[in-house]
Amino acid sequence: MIRKCLFPVAGYGTRFLPATKSMPKEMLPIVNKPLVQYGVEEAIDAGLKEIALVTGRGKRAIADHFDISYELENQIAGTSKERYLDCIRNVLEQGTFMMTRQRQMKGLGHAILTGECLIGDEAFGVILSDDLCLNHDDEGVMAQMVKLYNQFRCSIVAIQEVPMEDIEKYGVIAGEEMGDGLYRVSTMVEKPKPEDAPTNMAVIGRYILTPDIFDILRNTPPGKNGEVQLTDALMTQAQNGCVLAYKFRGKRFDCGSVPGFIEATNYVYENIYAEGSA
């Protein structure tokens, strides 16, 4: 059974400067809820209630967000405004939160390896909160992936087809289709040029990883952009055993970019947000 979900949240958020100068990019709100909370809710809904945050300098607001604010509770308890706290109270009641700090930014693979002390020797989920995945009438993306893990017991990456001109922003897979949008990965490349991309199937920020990934990451040399790439470690896993790629059901917004962030905001406001709940 998967219990833990790792959130790499140490990145700088350069594209949102100056908003992210002293505020973590993961705390930027989509309407009234910080991006990272959407991810944590998706994990908890999938049964992953132990949340492992790999944070860094300047990220204290995230730790504070997932804790009680006594002053606020005291001020608004018993008033009509109390309902605004319902959704974060739900998260705090259900989840437990642990964190460690990544001291140097050496890539996603390095962030995952930094989280080993929180995960230990068990399979775990990973959510990149920049990728907002919504499937509000149905199961969340992580819940869909947990079901697959329970069946196949190997690492799984979420994928989506993207236009070839965007492929350079993503990890890309190729593999043999096993049916139902599920592929057995044969190739994985981090951020290839369109002419080098094996397909247009891009990795989206949802993963389930088996714990052997840690040893593989320790032995993975820096790759694209001089960073330790999770994609490279997954390629090793695929060569040694099995990695699956899954075309998930749901919508995904690239909230690491301003247009994606605005699109997500409009979508949530029009389709999900209701004052006092969300």
| Residues found near ligand G1P in the complex (CB under 6 A) | 108, 128, 131, 170-171, 190, 202-205, 230-231, 256
Structure tokens that stand for 59 in this block: 């990220």
Q: What are phi and psi of 268, to 5 degrees?
A: -65, -40
Q: Kindly tell me which of 48 and 202 has the beta carbon lying closer to ligand G1P.
A: 202
Question: CB-wise, 171 or 250, nearer to ligand G1P?
Answer: 171
Which residues in the chain belong to E strands, given as ranges? Answer: 4-8, 29-30, 33-34, 50-55, 96-101, 124-127, 131-134, 155-161, 171-179, 182-190, 201-209, 243-247, 251-254
Residue 235 C-beta: closest distance to ligand G1P, Å = 11
- Closest approach of ligand G1P to the CB of residue 230, in Å: 6
Q: Please, which residue, 44 or 230, has the CB nearer to ligand G1P?
A: 230
Report the residue number, 248 or 278, with the smaller CB distance to ligand G1P. Answer: 248
Q: How far is the CB of 244 from ligand G1P (least distance, A)?
A: 16
Smallest distance from ligand G1P to CB 34, Å = 18
**What minimum distance in Å lies between the beta carbon of 128 and ligand G1P?**
5
Residues 6+ away with beta carbon under 8 Å from 149: 2, 123, 156, 208
Single out the residue of 168, 148, 132 nearest to residue 42, CA to CA.
132
Nearer to ligand G1P, 231 or 265 (CB): 231
Instruction: Report the residue closest to ligand G1P, judged by CB.
Output: 171
Q: Is the distance from CB of 11 to CB of 35 less than 8 angstroms?
A: no
Q: Are 242 and 184 in contact (CB under 8 A)?
A: yes
